[in-house]
Amino acid sequence: MSILTTPWHVLGLLGQPRRISSVVYNTLLTLAWKPYELAMIFGGLILLGSACLFIYILAKTQLNPTTEEFTQQIEYAEPIHPVTALPEYLNDFKLWNRVIAVLMAISFGIPILQFFFMETFGSPAWGY
């Protein structure tokens, strides 16, 4: 994913427009985009290959008619010192759900709130 998306960022900094088909090609600016576009193609092919392998593995595991019974007992590692007490927050998701909620509010709250305080085109501040 990094191989695919990092060139997008760099190309945006180099001035490549998004969602516009009126770009004049074969200029020095557009020729500078070629290595980044090739890197994006390579990253996209890697993602396509991984998605195909993922679907293949899912299909093989779900459509396989034979199921193997595990007769062997799984042996787990034994702790050096036995666990006598476990803190509550390590045995529950409440704390971690709250941490995620706070981090999401910090990450997405400010950009979402900016929409409510922005002046939009056609508002009285523009004089239209």
Domain count, the chain: 2
Q: Judge whether 43 and 5 are in contact, CB under 8 Å.
A: yes
Domain residues for the domain of 108 are 87-120
Within a domain: 14? yes
For residue range 79-128, list pLDDT tens digits in order. Answer: 888 878 888 878 888 888 999 999 999 899 888 888 888 776 555 555 54
Query: Looking at this protein, which amino acid is placed at residue 39?
Result: A
Within a domain: 32? yes
Query: Looking at this protein, which amino acid is placed at residue 51?
Result: A
Give the pair of three-digit tokens for residue 100: 């995620």
For residue range 10-39, list pLDDT tens digits in order. Answer: 888 887 777 766 667 777 877 888 899 899
Q: Judge whether 125 and 119 are in contact, CB under 8 Å.
A: yes
Instruction: Report the predicted TM-score, pTM, of the whole model to 2 decimal places.
Output: 0.49
